[in-house]
Amino acid sequence: MRSDAIKKGIEHAPHRAALYGLGLTEDDLKKPFIGVINSRSEIFPGHAGLDTVAAAVKDGVHAAGGLPFELGTIALGECINEGLPGMRYNLPSREFIADSVEILAGAYPLDGLVLIPNCDKIVPGMLMGAVRANIPAIFVSGGPMLAGELSDDGGTRLLDLVSVNEGMGRAIRGEISEAELERMAHAACRTCGSCAGMFTANTMNCLTEALGLAFPGNGTIPAVDARRVRLAKAVGERSVGLVKENLCPRDIVTPAAIDNAFTVAMAIGGSTNTLLHLPALAHEAGLDFPLSRVNEISRRTPLLAKFSPASDYRLEHLDRAGGIPAVMKELKSLLNLDVITVTGQTLEKNLAAARVTDRNVIRPFADPYAPTGGLAVLFGNLAPDGAVVKSGAVAREMLVHRGPARVFNSEAAATQAVMRQEFRSGDVLVIRYEGPRGSPGMVEMLWTTSLLCGMGKDKEVALVTDGRFSGATRGPAIGHISPEAAAGGPIAALRDGDIISIDIPGGKLDVELSDEEIKRRIKKLPPFQPKVTSGYLRRYAARVTSASTGAVLRDND
């Protein structure tokens, strides 16, 4: 075991002295050391219940004869800094979390890891760090919150945070009062846990199952369900077995496992941020995963399920319908079933008992919502290296659209214009200089898109950006345009009135300008001036790569 390095020998007496100072005994030092890396914080409901999960994990480690040590990482909750300058830190925090996991696993002679994430950038950050450290590791999330409920004369409505975001647009239109909006805000977050819809956190927690790094149920068992505690205890027990078997993340995160994860993401209409995080994970594992591969997977994968923001179903409905194992059982003809998972069994054996219990939630493979997946990558002269859209949440009439550009150089400017309704039906709103380098940090546009949806404009107006969207975004919102404006991408050449053509089924995103005109305009632009010139974000902007490659950081020369 790695921990043997400090358990034996005269020269390691000082190490043992420090351990005895914790109250450990000589018998304790005979046990495997398991690092329990917890992302708990007290400022967001997604993280608030993780102390219960960690306690159950540690009980499981003890029960299996291991010795747990709880450690921590930072944890940002996107809904707390949505629309604020602090949003710039969210995607960069992914790299910080990955570094933290690597540092903890590298600095301490731990034999294995249990990683406890729950929210948007924490899951991929911990995945990246675990693959980088490559010692036996297993994941257990805090689970999704239950949908909020609001009763009125029309019955009981289910709510989540995007309901409140879209409620802002309804309030601006005068459709609901400020008092009604506040009533929704009180009701939306009913319990602790990650947001109730198929947003980024829940997408990524579900995909840890598809990758083989978490037990079945990890992505869908509600945060407040006793099964979550039992799951966490079982994970703690299994972590000791992983150490004995020396089964490590890079044994599990293979090209076949990445394909499986993308296939599941397509079938459940997952977050567009998947197309940042899975390529970044592949990069950490030393695997090449071009963005064009996503469309190959999408074309063969039917959309079997729709969840908020694309429907009224939430994660609790998916859980009751059989969860991710039921989805994968339905997709078995498309999956690599012989891959190994943290259970110690192949994916095929893990799925043996899975079944769909509600066909309203998980459609049959032969009768899907759509014949292709819920995410799409678009290419064209506006996005030579690609752009992404949650196609499963776009109204049919907006899958193909052509309209004049209305250009903004920041999310804040666009949001103010939307609130003042300074746009016309048919417009294509363009938000640029919000990419990984330009923002810096690639802020998400949930406020802007939610306002448009709440105003009922998601079937009239499209939005394109080199920034990103929340997994809660719906409508014709196209993000991750690469190269970004700050890198001199074609989006930097756009002017008000330029005609933009969107063809989501055809995978195309173009501006009706010649290549020569685009190059001429870009050549005339002044050099990009960074918005942040000090601190972590300055260092991040100097090293971050394109969204098309997962916005990973380049190594210093």
Length of the chain: 557
Report the candidate in 418, 427, 426 with the shortest Cα–Cα distance to residue 449. Answer: 418
Structure tokens at 289: 């995963």
From the candidates 100, 239, 308, 470, give the one annotated as an active-site residue: 470
Report the candidate in 114, 121, 124, 353 with the shortest Cα–Cα distance to residue 236. Answer: 114
Structure tokens at 373: 């997946």
470 catalytically annotated: yes
41 near 75, Cβ under 8 Å?
yes
C-alpha neighbours within 13 Å on the C-beta side of residue 11: 2
**147-156 burial by CB neighbour count: b if 16+ within 10 A, else e?**
bbebeeeeee
7 near 16, Cβ under 8 Å?
yes
390 vs 70, 154, 200, CA distance in Å? Answer: 37, 30, 12
* C-alpha to C-alpha distance for 99 and 399, rounded to whole angstroms: 39
* C-alpha to C-alpha distance for 278 and 527, rounded to whole angstroms: 32
* C-alpha to C-alpha distance for 522 and 207, rounded to whole angstroms: 39
* C-alpha to C-alpha distance for 414 and 420, rounded to whole angstroms: 10
Spatial CB neighbours of 397, under 8 Å, sequence gap ≥ 6: 459
Direct distance between the N- and C-terminal alpha carbons of the chain, in angstroms, rounded to an integer: 35
Residue given tokens 């209409």 in the structure block: 269
63 near 236, Cβ under 8 Å?
yes
State the catalytic residues. 470
